[in-house]
Amino acid sequence: MAPSFEVVLDMMQTLSVAAPGPGPTTKLDDATEKLIEAAQDVIAEARKVQKAIRSAKANSTHRVSSIIALRKEASALSTNITKVRDSSEEYAMSQIISSAKPSSAEMGVGSILSRFSPQIKNFIRFGLDRSPNPDNAVWKIVEECYKHALNDGGCLCIEPVRSGNTGPKSLNFKWIAFWRRALHSCHGGPTIFWPLSMFDPYDGKVSRPPRYLFRFFDSQSFGRTDDTVVASMASIHKQAAVSRIDLLNVDKAMATQMLHSHIDLAMGSFGGHADNLMSWSSSLLFAIQGAIYRCDRTGRDPRDMKILVVDTHLFPMGQFFRDLWVFKRLKCAQSDHPRLRQLVEWRVSNVWDSGGWFSQGTLNHQGRSCTTSLQQLIDAGLYYLYPEFEESDGATLWTKRTDELRGAWSFPHPTYHEEVDFAFDIASACFGEFSYTDLALLLLCFKNRGRMTEGWFTLPLLCSWETLTMFLRNS
């Protein structure tokens, strides 16, 4: 039996979520669960009444009076619903602030919170209303606030001033640090790299990732990679707190060992259950050749070998970090591990550079990614665009083969219309969630290309994003 309006109103009026109270959390949980059940019942009854009103004939005084009475109760219900919505927003706001734990040393953060309160509440309101998964709502709200606090032009950004240690620049760092802590405290949220105590985020010392990053995987790949999540071994097998440890904020010896065990293929285990890193590449060529190599080595069906691409513009700064920067920061070239020193020398000298980037912990990429398979690429025309990928001898190698292809394709090549057609067919069939023009250009950029002019190509117009874009527009 559905509860009466009075019961629902009483529930709403006694439910206070404006701030965490001293009582046990279960009391609030029980009250909200009961209210949700009551609201669902009332919604069902309201739909029945709406249907009855539409089908009823206006010939009964009793009906009119009962409908007027219903309208008064519905107005009271609506008023209290609005209060509950407002309370839920206030509660979310207080939880976010308390999770960041602003210290007394961060004087000024409180006034900034007051200044940006309307904008923050807009983010909270939008996140609570639009999130399909309540468990992800809070960290997505905080992530959005973090991005807007960090990025120039963001609606929570303080104008960066570069002079002085106690002025606006210092306050800006405190403001960004506040949102970083809030994000770090969110259950299910990302583990971002945090070097802001070491450098000015506006001085360009740390590279922002390119628009797209790639990784190939199958069911036997280390960690977890699927259509929604990329998770490290540590985030799967260790306590949640372990996967939230930032590589840049642990002991240098420990961080170096983590890197050594992760990137050295000869060790086989990639650091085992303690490995909190996941690798990405900015090179689609490197990812495709890696997928081909892994199929040849393991006997996997190309349909089961996946390639994941993420749009880094949709993630907060620090979600991905360039491996070369981490190597230099930790002085890996001076490491006691010979294999690590050799790998760093190769990367720094651009020998077998994979365009490597790291993420750490758990990365939720749903809605910000696209997944395809090696077989889908082949079916869409990959081997027609680049027959070299089909050569059996090349399938037995990965980094060396990638280097060979780069060398062979480094000389200027003409670009034919059918190649452009193949590139667009592949991009639209396999990467439809993103701009297929972007992905088509990435595919074409495997080769150093010149623009066709009356059957010949012009040598000065070598392969570049701008050149190919102009060429495609004029084709």
Return the amino acid letter for 445: C
Residue 161 pLDDT more than 60?
Answer: no
Is residue 207 one of the residues assigned to a domain? no
One domain for residues 237 and 344: yes
Q: Does 166 share its domain with 182?
A: yes
* Pair (224, 325) in one structural domain: yes
Q: How many CB atoms lie within 10 A of CB 234?
A: 26
**159 assigned to some structural domain:** yes
Nearest to residue 86, comparing CAs of 46, 115, 119, 128? 128
Length of the chain counted residue by residue: 475
Buried/exposed 275-286: b ≥16 CB within 10 Å, e otherwise: bbbbbbbbbbbb
Packing angle, helices 284-298 and 436-444, rounded to 10: 80
Buried b vs exposed e over 141-163: b needs ≥16 C-beta within 10 Å? bbbbbbbbbbeeeeebbbeeeee
Give the largest Cα separation in the chain, rounded.
Answer: 93
**Has residue 387 been placed in a domain?**
no
Ordered alpha helix ranges (H), 267-363: 284-298, 323-329, 338-348
Q: Of 96, 124, 145, which residue constitutes the final position of a domain?
A: 96
Q: Per mean pLDDT, which of 12-21, 113-122, 336-345 is the most reliable?
A: 113-122
Q: What is the pLDDT of residue 70?
A: 78
pLDDT of 409 higher than 70: yes
Q: Which residue has the higher pLDDT, 247 or 305?
A: 305
- Confidence (pLDDT) at 169: 63
In a domain, 311, yes or no: yes
247 and 328: one domain? yes
Q: How much is the pLDDT for 181? A: 87
Considering the entire predicted model, what is its pTM? 0.79
Query: Does residue 342 fall inside a structural domain?
Result: yes
Q: Is residue 398 part of a domain?
A: no
Same domain, 149 and 228: no
If asked whether residues 261 and 359 sit together in one domain, one would say yes
- For position 458, what pLDDT does the model report? 45
> Following DSSP, what letter does each residue of 287-309 receive, concatenated?
HHHHHHHHHHHH---GGG-EEEE
Contacts of 36-45 with C-beta under 8 Å, sequence gap 24+, read 38/3, 38/7, 38/8, 38/11, 39/8, 41/2, 41/3, 42/2, 42/3, 42/5, 42/8, 42/77, 44/2, 45/2
Whether pLDDT at 460 is above 50: no
Which one, of 79, 92, 78, 87, lies nearest residue 15 by Cα?
87
Residue 7 pLDDT > 60: no
Contact 373, 218 (CB under 8 A): no
Position 430 confidence tier, pLDDT thresholds 50, 70, 90: very high
Asked if residue 470 and residue 323 are part of one domain, the reply reads no
Exposed, middle or buried, 472 (CB in 10 Å: 0-12/13-18/19+)? Answer: middle
Q: Which of 71, 96, 121 is the last residue of a domain?
A: 96
**pLDDT higher than 70, residue 455:** no
pLDDT tens across 62-108, in order? 567 777 777 888 888 788 878 878 888 888 888 888 878 766 556 67
Query: How many CA atoms within 13 Å lie on the side-chain side of 16?
Result: 7
Q: What is the rounded CA–CA span in Å between residue 381 and residue 425? A: 7
Residue 204: strand, helix, or coil:
coil
- Domain membership flag for residue 424: yes
Q: Tell me, what's the pLDDT at 433?
A: 82
Give the pLDDT score at 242.
76
The last residue of a domain, from among 44, 77, 96: 96
Distance from C-alpha of 298 to C-alpha of 279, rounded to nearest angstrom: 20
Q: Are residues 7 and 145 in the same domain?
A: no
Q: Which residues pair with 364 in a beta bridge?
A: 229
Tell me the mean pLDDT in the region 309-332.
86
For residues 167 and 46, the model is more confident at 46
Residues 368-382: what's their mean pLDDT? Answer: 96
Question: Do 39 and 110 share a domain, yes or no?
Answer: no
Among 143-147, 221-225, 432-436, which is the least confidently predicted range? 432-436
Q: Assess if residue 347 is contained within a domain.
A: yes
Shared-domain flag, residues 277 and 358 = yes
**Closest among 382, 359, 177 to 280, alpha carbons compared:** 359
Rounded CA separation 93/19 (Å): 9
**8 A C-beta contact, residue 402 and residue 287:** no
Q: Name which of 408, 434, 248, 442 is nearest 330 in CA terms.
A: 248
pLDDT band per the 50, 70, 90 thresholds, residue 264: low
Question: Is the Cβ–Cβ distance between 209 and 320 less than 8 Å?
Answer: yes
Number of domains forming the structure of the chain:
4
The yes-or-no verdict on residue 32 having pLDDT over 50 is yes
Give the DSSP per-residue string, 371-382: EEEHHHHHHHTH
* Residue ranges making up the domain that contains 30: 1-96
- Residue 108: its pLDDT value, please? 76
On average, the pLDDT of the chain sits at: 79
Question: Is residue 223 located within the same domain as residue 333?
Answer: yes
DSSP code at position 81: H
pLDDT reported for residue 63 = 66
Q: Which two tokens stand for residue 50?
A: 């709406």
**Same structural domain for residues 328 and 242?**
yes
> β-strand 413-414 against 306-311: which pairing, if any?
unpaired
User: Band of the pLDDT at 10, cuts 50, 70, 90?
Assistant: low
- pLDDT higher than threshold 60 for residue 457: no
Instruction: Say whether pLDDT at 129 is over 70.
Output: yes
pLDDT at 304: 96
| Res 200 pLDDT > 70 | no
